[in-house]
């Protein structure tokens, strides 16, 4: 029951936030992006903590978007982010990766003015995460590298293709304008977080590879350990979509190209998700 509640709450939070912030259509798009994510379906009703990690990472991401959009960051925003980070640390010590990445959003957007807030949202949660790690409440992973499946299950190829398309599209349009759009502020701020979280995962893989196992046994990693990348990818896709729509205002050909690309990638996304879910449930 709790897993069902947390997954449903994560979907509701995405729909509600983007509906209020950018309009109902973006709320629907955020919901569809989440439903086109294989890990959402595979762990929707699992009696494990992964749905809670999914929900808390959604809240973390939404707080970061609000911070990136705000001209003045109020206490309730960074305090809320600090509380969510603390709950993430109590849920999984691997959440240290997005927790550390979230602190960089403060520093990259506001500089020295918010260093105390960044320290608050970072220090206590990381202390909890490392405490659990050193208490031995974890499995040992030694002498392993990774397979791309760990990343692609959480950031599917269709979502990566969307990011590539958005980058190329925005790059071509930026040649014809003098200043960035205000909508790009939130996307850029959240991009710092997303990129840092992904880099942290690769750093973890490198540390695992360099580790030594005195017992001589090998224990495998799993895609679900990095489920926090799923909501990160969803929120980044919605923010980029909002920037793309704003860029195409008054550009008929741009609208047609954007609509065609999004439609094609969405169809591929749902087909890919359906196949992965059926395969994971041993129905295919």
Interval 39-71: pLDDT, tens: 999 898 888 899 999 999 999 999 999 888 877
pTM of the model: 0.86
Read off the tokens for 267. Answer: 């169809």
Q: Is the pLDDT of residue 11 over 80?
A: yes
Residues with Cβ within 8 Å of 273's Cβ and at least 6 positions away in sequence, in order, are 35, 36, 37, 38, 41, 156
Reported confidence tier of residue 112, pLDDT bands at 50, 70, 90: low
φ, ψ for residue 110, nearest 5 deg: -115, -5
pLDDT at 47: 85
**What confidence tier does 137 reach under pLDDT thresholds 50, 70, 90?**
very low
Question: pLDDT tens for residues 146-185?
Answer: 678 889 889 999 899 999 888 887 777 665 555 556 567 7
Cα–Cα distance for residue pair 199/183, rounded to 1 Å: 25
Residue 26 or 262, more confident:
26
Look at 111-120, 134-143, 267-276 and tell me which has the smallest mean pLDDT: 134-143
State how far the Cα of 176 lies from the Cα of 158, in Å rounded to an integer. 28
Instruction: Say yes or no to pLDDT of 142 above 60.
Output: no
- pLDDT higher at 255 or 232: 232
Q: For position 228, what pLDDT does the model report?
A: 94
191-231 tens-digit pLDDT: 889 999 999 888 888 777 766 555 555 556 788 889 999 99
Contact 254, 247 (CB under 8 A): yes
DSSP per residue, the chain: -HHHHHHHHHHHHHHHHHHHHH-HHHHHHHHHHHHT-HHHHHTSS-SSTHHHHHHHHHHHHHHHHHHHH-SS--HHHHHHHHHHHHHHHHH-GGGHHHHHHHHHHHHHHHGGGGHHHHHHHHHHHHHHHHHHHHTT-S----S----THHHHTTS-HHHHHHHHHHHHHHHHHHTT-SS--THHHHHHHHHHHHHHHHHHHHHHHHHHHH---TT-------GGGGTTHHHHHHHHHHHHHHHHHHHTTT-HHHHHHHHHHHHHHHHHHHHHHHHHHHHHTT--
| Res 128: pLDDT | 79
pLDDT in tens, 232-248: 999 999 999 988 888 77
Q: What is the mean pLDDT of residues 103-129?
A: 70
CB 73 within 8 A of CB 121: no
| Average pLDDT in the chain | 81
pLDDT reported for residue 208: 72
């Amino acid at each position: 029951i709790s897993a069902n509640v947390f997954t449903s709450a994560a979907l509701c939070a995405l729909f509600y936030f983007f509906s209020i912030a950018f309009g109902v259509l973006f709320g629907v798009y955020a919901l569809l992006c989440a439903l086109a994510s294989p890990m959402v379906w595979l762990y929707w009703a699992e009696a494990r903590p992964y749905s809670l990690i999914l929900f808390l990472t959604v809240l973390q991401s939404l707080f970061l978007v609000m911070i990136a959009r705000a001209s003045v960051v109020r206490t309730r925003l960074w305090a809320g982010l600090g509380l969510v980070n603390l709950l993430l640390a109590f849920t999984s010590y691997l959440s240290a990766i997005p927790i550390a990445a979230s602190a960089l959003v403060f520093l990259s957007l506001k500089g020295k003015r918010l260093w105390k807030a960044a320290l608050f949202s970072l220090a206590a949660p990381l202390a909890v995460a490392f405490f659990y790690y050193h208490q031995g409440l974890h499995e040992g992973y030694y002498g392993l590298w990774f397979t791309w499946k760990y990343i692609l299950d959480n950031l599917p190829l269709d979502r990566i293709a969307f990011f590539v398309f958005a980058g190329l599209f925005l790059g071509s349009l930026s040649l014809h304008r003098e200043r960035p759009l205000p909508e790009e502020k939130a996307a850029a701020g959240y991009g710092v977080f997303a990129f840092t979280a992904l880099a942290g995962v690769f750093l973890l893989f490198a540390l695992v590879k360099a580790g030594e196992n005195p017992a001589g046994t090998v224990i495998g990693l799993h895609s679900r350990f990095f489920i926090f990348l799923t909501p990160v990818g969803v929120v980044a896709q919605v923010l980029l979509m909002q920037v793309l729509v704003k860029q195409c205002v008054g550009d008929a050909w741009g609208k047609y190209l954007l609509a065609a690309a999004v439609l094609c990638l969405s169809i591929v996304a749902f087909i890919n998700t359906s196949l992965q879910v059926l395969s994971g449930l041993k129905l295919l």
